[in-house]
Amino acid sequence: MRLVKQLAVVVLISLVGSQLTLAMNWNTPLTLLFGFATAVLALLGYRWVVGRTEHREVTELSWSGARTALGRGLLIGLVMFTGVIVNLALLGDYHVAGWGSLTGALALFGFTAAAAVTEELMYRGVLLRIIEGRFGSFAALGFTALLFGLSHLLNPHATLWSAIAIAVEAGGMLGAAYIATRNLWVPIGLHFAWNYAEGGIFGTQISGKDAPQGLLDGVLSGPAALTGGGFGPEASIYSVAAGLIVTIGFLWLAKRRGHLMPARRTAPAATLVP
């Protein structure tokens, strides 16, 4: 029941906020406003519903240390995507045709902030955390990663491969980031930085979605296996490789810190003594 209540609050805020943001048709001030409002309301809504249904302090979203944890996530996400773009550029599969749009980059800032926060609260904050408590870290990680990948099949230009790529490089990595740190700020920062670097800075497709140009007018050309084709660099084998490396690193850290949870064993039925 708590899972249903928590999901209901986060999903409701996400749906209303995303629809209002998209209705602004990339109007820069309003997209920024509604994007940030959605992110803030989702954070407050999560803290309220989790505290109310679980009767505890919401430590995974503590304001204490939030800036440092968010900064770490932002740095990892930015370095990761920059590494993917540099590899593509060295092969001649990415080049900059010129400057893009500052207003587009600002609008994307608000949009990606809302998407990163709401998706992390939903998939890692609610689903992974609650499933992990019953079935253990690896089962929860696998299930939520698969679900995250499948949810992106609804995006334009999506394919089975792009869904698998998202499941591995994003669903697995972001879940592992939560397990290793036991806070949601790191995956939120990582998710935001990756998406914003993708569209807002380097001017490439974000999960196949149509969006305004970012700061740079980026052009991808070459094999779809390397560039991701119409879906964008998230379907690139470089992105999958980068995501796998970071996932393994986070899982190693989680094991070292003792954060991996085993499946909860079902207590054996009481034996009747005659």
The mean predicted confidence, pLDDT, of the chain is 92
Above 50 in pLDDT, residue 97?
Answer: yes
Round the CA-based radius of gyration of the chain to a whole number and report it: 19
Residues 26-66: pLDDT tens digits? Answer: 888 899 999 999 999 999 999 999 999 999 999 999 999 99
User: Of 203, 227, 218, 239, which Cα lies nearest the Cα of 104?
Assistant: 203
3-state secondary structure of 97: strand
Residues 180-218: pLDDT tens digits? Answer: 999 999 999 999 999 999 999 999 999 888 778 899 999
| Helix boundaries (H) for the chain | 2-23, 28-54, 66-90, 102-120, 129-135, 137-151, 160-166, 173-181, 185-196, 224-227, 237-257
d(CA 169, CA 151): 14
C-alpha distances (whole Å) from 224 to each of 164, 192, 216, 220 are: 15, 24, 21, 10
5: confidence class by pLDDT, cuts 50, 70, 90: confident
Find out whether 206 and 195 touch, Cβ atoms under 8 Å: yes
Find out whether 118 and 10 touch, Cβ atoms under 8 Å: yes
Residues 216-226: pLDDT tens digits? Answer: 999 999 999 99
Could you tell me which residue, 133 or 273, shows the higher pLDDT?
133
User: Of 257, 1, 255, 262, which Cα lies nearest the Cα of 126?
Assistant: 1
Pairing of strands 94-99, 216-220: antiparallel
Find out whether 263 and 188 touch, Cβ atoms under 8 Å: no
User: Angle formed by the axes of helices 173-181 and 237-257, to 10°?
Assistant: 20
Could you tell me which residue, 263 or 75, shows the higher pLDDT?
75
d(CA 35, CA 108): 9
83: left (phi over 0), alpha (psi -120 to 50) or beta: alpha
9-23, 186-200, 225-239: segment of lowest average pLDDT: 9-23
Whole-number pLDDT of residue 1? 77
What is 127-152 written as a DSSP string? IIHHHHHHH-HHHHHHHHHHHHHHHG
Q: How large is the average pLDDT for residues 126-147? A: 96
Whole-number pLDDT of residue 267? 41
96 beta partners: 218
* Whole-prediction pTM: 0.93
Q: How large is the average pLDDT for residues 8-13? A: 89
Q: How large is the average pLDDT for residues 129-134? A: 94
18: confidence class by pLDDT, cuts 50, 70, 90: confident
